[in-house]
Structure 1
Amino acid sequence: MPADGPQPALFSREFASDPYPAYAWLREHAPVHRTTLPSGVEAWLVTRYGDARQALADQRLSKNPTRHASDRTGIPGERGAGLMTHLLNIDPPDHTRLRRLVSKAFTPRRVAEFAPRVQQLTDRLIDGFAGRGEADLIHEFAFPLPIYAICDMLGVPAEDQDEFRDWAGMMLHTSGGRPPGPRGDQGKGPRGGVARSVKKMRAYLVELIHRKRDDLGDDLISGLIRASDHGEHLTEQEAAAMAFILLFAGFETTVNLIGNGVYQLLRHPEAMARLAAEPSLLPSAVEELLRYDGPVELATWRFAAQDLEIGGRRIAEGDPVLVVLAAADRDPERFAEPDLLDLARRDNQHLGYGHGIHYCLGAPLARLEGQTAIGTLLRRAPDLRFAGNPDELRWRGGLIMRGLRTLPVEFTAG
């Protein structure tokens, strides 16, 4: 991918469609680059694999957003809703304590036990559109699958899950890198819509925690309540914040993993045909799709807890730092032929789910959902194809996540 010429524009619509040429330029010419984000916040972008991996594990980079004066550096509405004390916003020792409490829900054994439910959800969703021979794979498949799965894991009753889907849909389709309204998170713009959904979700989660105290089950929220009752010092606010971030982070990443993954397979028909013929490639294929066009474009916010250097550039205390996972995972210094989609790639230590103590807790579940969704879709719709011009598809305008707004497809009805 060419990396010469003048610096390309960042955060434009063209950039959102294909940011990789711009990231190649930054890796070559300005690997640690200070820029002004669409929100108006100034931040450092880290684009080379070596620098990125080091920064992700550097505990001098704090996750605590109170180290920065702006309220435009997190999830819209989480401050006003009292949902700040979750894993993406805290440092050790609180991070260590809270992560230990929820890590039991995402062990390989627990995730393997959940596999039949993921397959059941996948088949049910495909049944809903298989007879039509067409679908929007984002709205009808990639979006509802992880919502229903994470609701099941949290212990949200089935009769309430459609309401959760509505709130999550508002958060997914109106969040982005646009400036907030005149009153910040409470504005009437897109962030304001997200903030209202966040508040509704918080109120529901607090009520659900109260209800479950009298009827504990084998779900994650019940586990948080048991931990609190056994002296683990988990407050009700922490429990609600933990449930919220597991839902928020646990569904959008998987929406994008499935959506981006199918999109890239459709753009690489030889690779898709090989995967359909060799389903044993699914594990390595999902890893390559995570590297090639992953669901998380930039790692979540970090803030310099002291003056430090990254890649030879001085970062001042309090400065925001954004590690560009999408750039690092196409670094030719780390990956041979990084712009080639190789579903059987070996030595694929991508950063798609981060690195260090903040490595994505739900990665095993997301991988299971990605493998199940993509594998089942290729099996049941072997002639899957774009419905319309793929170059006209729109990408959501968010800063952290990378995902399609829609993905219309056609196939033989059955």
Structure 2
Amino acid sequence: MIDTETVFKSNFKVGAYPFYEKLRQQDPIFAMSHENGQTSWIVTKYDHVKEVLKKSSFIKDQSKFFSGSSDEEQSKILSVFRNMMLDVDPPDHTRLRKLVQPYFNPKTIKNLEPRIAEIADELLLKMKEKKGPIDLINDYAFPLPIIVISELLGVPSEDRDKFRKWSNTIVAAVDNLANTFEEDVTAFIEYLTYLFEERKDNPGDDLISKLIQAEEEGEQLNKDELYSMIVLLIIAGHETTVNLIANTMFALFEHPDQLEKLKEDFSFIETAVEEGLRYYSPVDFSTARWAEEDLEFHGKTFRRGDLVLASLSSANRDEEKFNKAGDFDITRENNPHVAFGFGIHFCLGAPLARLEGKIAIEKLLIAFPDIHLAENTSPPQFRQVFLLRGLGVLEVELDT
């Protein structure tokens, strides 16, 4: 008997992987019924997950099923999220993605490599000046991607730390963990309004200036979509990479033989990053999809408006797809994981996240070859955010 409430328990992340394994074996398309009559489905097998992510009958636009807020102020706040590229379907998704795709293609991202390396070196230099245990997330895994995405967008350096609080509020709101949601999102919108006005008067070569120009032309981007696009790029532009860097380092600490293998031969850095993405996927579940109409899916009946969640973490540990799926192996070559999703919503920032992860981890291990988990501290804990898999703190010692 599978306990439906397991998914919603505060310690779910601790036992998530055994739970996913049980689902894959006993009930891979798992129905959860809610008190309001809504049914949510968790899809756990690799092939099924890819099908959900690709199938056009599972849509993103929940407004087709649920009416919006009648509260004018709340509706204004929520409009920032309703127009996100991540949560719309074609043709709007196609139009929005086409607008920003050139800034995230592999060739463009490759040109950022020298600057990313420079940022990593600057952060590592600051870390060398510190004594005792440090929080690898606070001092390295977080600031590196937030600096990169801020520079790409054109956000002033003195404002970057604000985004951490706002981003945490937004991702925690999915789990009703943020009691300052309205206050923080309002502050975020007010800040962006100020930034947009400033950039209209003083446009630069940054992405925000280019998106404002597109909005003013009125053909490619409306005002709500402009706000949504920047919020998405700021949050998605660092959240996934923070988790990628910290999760992969944690997996290496858990598997010292693999850590030693990487330090001895950095030609494994790319496969190590890919294995980190598979083993501890930065995004646990895909964002919500909804059954557009009643349909049959591998023997299960989905009703119109049912919520469908694809478990990327489970798919990436599917024994039928990955040899020794429960092992962390930095030399794994056949590794078609779905950590960045699949289909038209495949993560736009995947090339950037991969490059940042590769540079960050290699430079960290070269600078501090004796780095290890700090002793006499609490075991690292994954944040209790349903959609994501990321550590809250990762305390390390930099030398022996």
When residues 367 and 411 of structure 1 are mapped into structure 2, their CA distance, relative to the original with a 3 A threshold, is same
When the two structures are superposed, what TM-score results if normalisation uses the length of structure 1?
0.88
- Most deviating of 329-338 and 109-118: 109-118
When residues 35 and 6 of structure 1 are mapped into structure 2, their CA distance, relative to the original with a 3 A threshold, is closer
When residues 258 and 220 of structure 1 are mapped into structure 2, their CA distance, relative to the original with a 3 A threshold, is same
In structure 2, the partner of 1:392 is 379
The match for 1:296 among 272, 283, 299 is 283
Q: Deviations over 1:262-301 (max 9, x none)?
A: 1100000111111112112111111111011110000011
In structure 1, the partner of 2:86 is 88
Preserved contact between residue 137 and residue 408 of structure 1 (Cα < 8 Å): yes
In structure 2, the partner of 1:100 is 98
Q: Deviations over 1:119-150 (max 9, x none)?
A: 22222222222232531112222122221211
Q: How does 1:9-408 map to 2 (within 5 A)?
A: 9-35=6-32, 42-69=39-66, 80-83=77-80, 84-131=82-129, 132-171=131-170, 175=172, 178=175, 180=176, 190-230=177-217, 232-388=219-375, 392-408=379-395
Q: Secondary structure at the match of 1:34?
A: strand
- Most deviating of 297-306 and 163-172: 163-172
Unaligned segments of structure 2, at least 5 residues: none
Preserved contact between residue 99 and residue 220 of structure 2 (Cα < 8 Å): no
In the aligned structure 1, how far is the partner of 2:281 from the partner of 2:139? 20
Preserved contact between residue 81 and residue 198 of structure 1 (Cα < 8 Å): no
When the two structures are superposed, what TM-score results if normalisation uses the length of structure 2?
0.91
Preserved contact between residue 153 and residue 208 of structure 2 (Cα < 8 Å): yes
In the aligned structure 2, how far is the partner of 1:233 from the partner of 1:412? 52
In the aligned structure 1, how far is the partner of 2:208 from the partner of 2:75? 19
Give the deviation of 1:208 after TM superposition. 1.5
In the aligned structure 2, how far is the partner of 1:201 from the partner of 1:263? 32
In the aligned structure 1, how far is the partner of 2:86 from the partner of 2:188? 18
Give the deviation of 1:307 after TM superposition. 1.3
Preserved contact between residue 290 and residue 306 of structure 2 (Cα < 8 Å): yes
- AA at the equivalent of 2:245: I
- AA at the equivalent of 1:33: F
When residues 128 and 52 of structure 1 are mapped into structure 2, their CA distance, relative to the original with a 3 A threshold, is same
- Most deviating of 6-15 and 230-239: 6-15
Q: Deviations over 1:41-89 (max 9, x none)?
A: 64100000010001100111111122443989xxxx8962420211111
When residues 158 and 6 of structure 1 are mapped into structure 2, their CA distance, relative to the original with a 3 A threshold, is closer
When residues 312 and 322 of structure 1 are mapped into structure 2, their CA distance, relative to the original with a 3 A threshold, is same
When residues 20 and 71 of structure 1 are mapped into structure 2, their CA distance, relative to the original with a 3 A threshold, is farther
Q: Deviations over 1:355-378 (max 9, x none)?
A: 000000011111111111111111
Q: Deviations over 1:191-228 (max 9, x none)?
A: 33233222211221122122212222221112212333
- Most deviating of 294-303 and 163-172: 163-172
Preserved contact between residue 151 and residue 161 of structure 1 (Cα < 8 Å): yes
In the aligned structure 1, how far is the partner of 2:76 from the partner of 2:136? 33
Preserved contact between residue 31 and residue 311 of structure 1 (Cα < 8 Å): no
Preserved contact between residue 170 and residue 197 of structure 1 (Cα < 8 Å): yes
- AA at the equivalent of 1:90: V
Unaligned segments of structure 1, at least 5 residues: 181-189
Q: How many residues align?
A: 393
Give the deviation of 1:13 after TM superposition. 4.2
Q: Secondary structure at the match of 1:10?
A: helix
Q: Secondary structure at the match of 1:392?
A: coil
Q: Secondary structure at the match of 2:180?
A: helix
Preserved contact between residue 81 and residue 202 of structure 1 (Cα < 8 Å): no
- AA at the equivalent of 2:18: P
In the aligned structure 2, how far is the partner of 1:70 from the partner of 1:332? 41
Preserved contact between residue 11 and residue 384 of structure 2 (Cα < 8 Å): no
Q: Secondary structure at the match of 1:18?
A: helix
Give the deviation of 1:347 after TM superposition. 2.0
- AA at the equivalent of 1:25: K
Q: Deviations over 1:328-367 (max 9, x none)?
A: 1111111111011111212211100000000000111111
Q: Secondary structure at the match of 2:296?
A: strand
Preserved contact between residue 286 and residue 371 of structure 1 (Cα < 8 Å): yes
In the aligned structure 2, how far is the partner of 1:248 from the partner of 1:107? 19
Preserved contact between residue 41 and residue 70 of structure 1 (Cα < 8 Å): no
Q: Secondary structure at the match of 1:80?
A: helix
When residues 304 and 375 of structure 1 are mapped into structure 2, their CA distance, relative to the original with a 3 A threshold, is same
When residues 160 and 390 of structure 1 are mapped into structure 2, their CA distance, relative to the original with a 3 A threshold, is closer
- Most deviating of 389-398 and 325-334: 389-398
Give the deviation of 1:14 after TM superposition. 4.1
Give the deviation of 1:230 after TM superposition. 4.9
When residues 39 and 140 of structure 1 are mapped into structure 2, their CA distance, relative to the original with a 3 A threshold, is farther
- AA at the equivalent of 2:157: A
Give the deviation of 1:159 after TM superposition. 2.9
Preserved contact between residue 212 and residue 222 of structure 1 (Cα < 8 Å): yes
In the aligned structure 2, how far is the partner of 1:222 from the partner of 1:396? 34
Preserved contact between residue 277 and residue 339 of structure 2 (Cα < 8 Å): yes
